[in-house]
Structure formats: C-alpha cells, structure tokens
Amino acid sequence: MYSDKDIRAAVEAGVMPKQTANAFRDFIQQQRGGVLNQDQEYIPLVHGFNDIFVVIAAVIALAGLWTIGNTVSPLIGGGLVAVASWLLSEYFTRRRHMALPSIVLLVTALGGTLGGVIMQLLAMAVRPDIASGVAFIASSAVATAHWFRFRVPITLAAGVATVIGIIVSFLSTTWLLDSILIDLVIMTGGLVTFGIAMYWDASDVDRTSRRSDVAFWLHLLAAPLMIHPLFNVILGSDFEIGVTQAAATLVLYLVLSVVSLIIDRRALMVSALAYVIFIFSQVLTSVGLVDLGSAVMGLIVGAGLLLVSVFWHPLRSALVSKLPPALLNKLPSLQ
C-alpha cells in the first residue's frame, strides 16, 4: 500500500510528474467522498505504531545518557545526547525515513546541545545572558549541519528559532535590555519567519512536496513570535485584563484568522490559541467564574474552531475571490 509520503517522494525524485500525482490524489479523494488532499495541510508524522515505539525507546535511552553524562558534567551529558541523537538519525532518518522519530531526534540533538552548554556555563558562573547566547550559537550550528545532512522539514524552523535566541540573548547583555525593544526584535523575527514560510509555500502551491512541510513548521513558529509581543502591549505593564484587553485580543485573532484562511494555513490559528484562551479565561474568572472560566472558554473556542473547520472552504472562497490574480497564483487553489 502506498502512502501520500511515497507519492510525494516519487514526485521529488522525478519518477512521477506532479500533474499525474495530483490527478491520482483527486481520483482517490473522489472515490472516498472527500476533498482534495492538498488542502488538508498533510504533515506526515506517524505511519504506524513502530514510529511511536522507536520514539519511546529513543527517549528512554537518551534520558539515560543525559543522567549518566551529568555525573561528570552537564556538557558531557548534553554532548552524549546530541551525538547519540545524530547517530540515531543516520538510521531512522536517512535510511528508514521515519517522520516522528526524525522530529524527536532533531529536538533532542538541539536540546542536548542547548541544555548542556548553558548548564555548563552557568556552573562556571558565566552570566545567564551570555551563557544563553553561546548555547544558542552552538544549537544554531547543530541545526545548520542537521539541515544539510538530513533535510528534516522542522529543522529550518528550529534553526530560525535559535538565531532569534542568539539576537535576543546578546541584546540582553547591553543597555538594549529594554523590554519594548526586545518585543520589537521578537516580532520582527516573527514577521521574517512568516515571510520565509510564504516563500516556501509559494514554491509549492500544490503542496505536493517536502517544501510544504517546511513551510508548515515555519508558520507554526511565526505565529507566537508575532503575537506574543502584541499581547504584551495589550496587557500593558500592570498585566490587568479587562473588557478592553479581551476586545483587542479578539480583533487580533480575527485578523490572524483571515490571514490563515487566505494562505490556507490552520497552523497560524492553532499556535496563537493559548493566548486567546488565557485572556478570555481570565476575563471570565474576573466576573465570578473562578472554577469554570478556563472550561467555558475552552468550550467556546473549541466550538468556534469546529465551525470554522466546517465552513473553511466557503469562508476561504469568499476572501480569496477578492484578491488580485497576481496574488492568487501564489496561493493554493480554491476547492
């Protein structure tokens, strides 16, 4: 049995023309009474329980390495985790092409590097801002090497995150520590990340190759980077949450939802949900729903997102139909 991942790999290898792959997807979806696959933001993660089995085994083994290495020093512990993760990737990523283990092993490689370096430097009484900056530099180097070796789609987003971490860390070592400037840097990083994601999306509007997966992870990173500074502005220095803050949050999320519909990326909406739920649950708590505030907010948000999912195509069609033709060519086709 062939999966969509196999079809996409065949297209990338030149075995099957993209038009043939799209026609085959259309046929299968029509047979199953569904909609076109390209609109589903298909991200291959688990193709069988063996993926989960491998992840569980790898995490247990790497946790053991971390603990054993830490008896010598944090740098040894983190280094063992990073090296072991890389070696495991040589098999599970390059040879077996297992998506979920590949993602987890990238995270453990970067986490081992970041955690080992920063904990070692802190143990040596290095200033926290400098220690984090050096740790992010080391992680960025690992992410760069990992990308050129394995090409795991999430790697580019992880690399962008480490670069932003470097900038913020070293800004914190100077008089530029001002929180407003830090928020501005983070938001700029989010906008740049969103631009990079759109570049990758525009290079594969049919979403039949791995480039679409790269864009997905970049969008998932871009949203909180753009939204977090704006929520800091909404909340203000006193962190007071009222009707005004809730209204501003709602407007901000509606704007983000419109953008998500136009570019056909649900990841943008999902990665900003935590902020919306927090703000409105605090508002409900302030009016007396202390115990049920989060639950009521979760019910409202969940129901709203389900409605958006049901009416995604009509809503998107209404928005996209008003865009200029030049822009339409860079967006996924309407259903």
Q: Mean pLDDT per 10-residue run, the chain (335 residues)?
A: 63 73 66 49 78 96 97 97 98 93 97 97 93 96 97 96 93 69 90 95 85 92 90 73 80 90 89 80 69 72 87 90 83 74
The pLDDT assigned to 35 comes to 44
Task: Please report the sign of the dihedral spanned by the C-alpha atoms of residue 263, residue 197, residue 201, residue 276.
Answer: negative
Token output for 222: 């871009």
Cα of first residue to Cα of last residue in the chain, in angstroms, is 27
Distance in angstroms (rounded) separating the CA atoms of residues 72 and 175: 36
Task: Please report the sign of the dihedral spanned by the C-alpha atoms of residue 160, residue 195, residue 176, residue 180.
Answer: negative
Per-residue HEC secondary structure of the chain comes to CCCHHHHHHHHHCCCCCHHHHHHHHHHHHHHCCCCCHHHHCCCCCCCCHHHHHHHHHHHHHHHHHHHHHHCCCHHHHHHHHHHHHHHHHHHHCCCCCCHHHHHHHHHHHHHHHHHHHHHHHHHCCCCHHHHHHHHHHHHHHHHHHHHHHHCCCHHHHHHHHHHHHHHHHHHCCCHHHCHHHHHHHHHHHHHHHHHHHHHHHHCCCCCCCHHHHHHHHHHHHHHHHHHHHHHHHHHCCCCCCCHHHHHHHHHHHHHHHHHHHHHCCHHHHHHCHHHHHHHHHHHHHHCCCCCCHHHHHHHHHHHHHHHHHHCHHHHHHHHHCCCCHHHHCCCCCCC
Q: Hunting for tokens 């029509």 — which residue is that?
A: 30
Amino acid found at 12: E
Distance in angstroms (rounded) separating the CA atoms of residues 77 and 141: 18
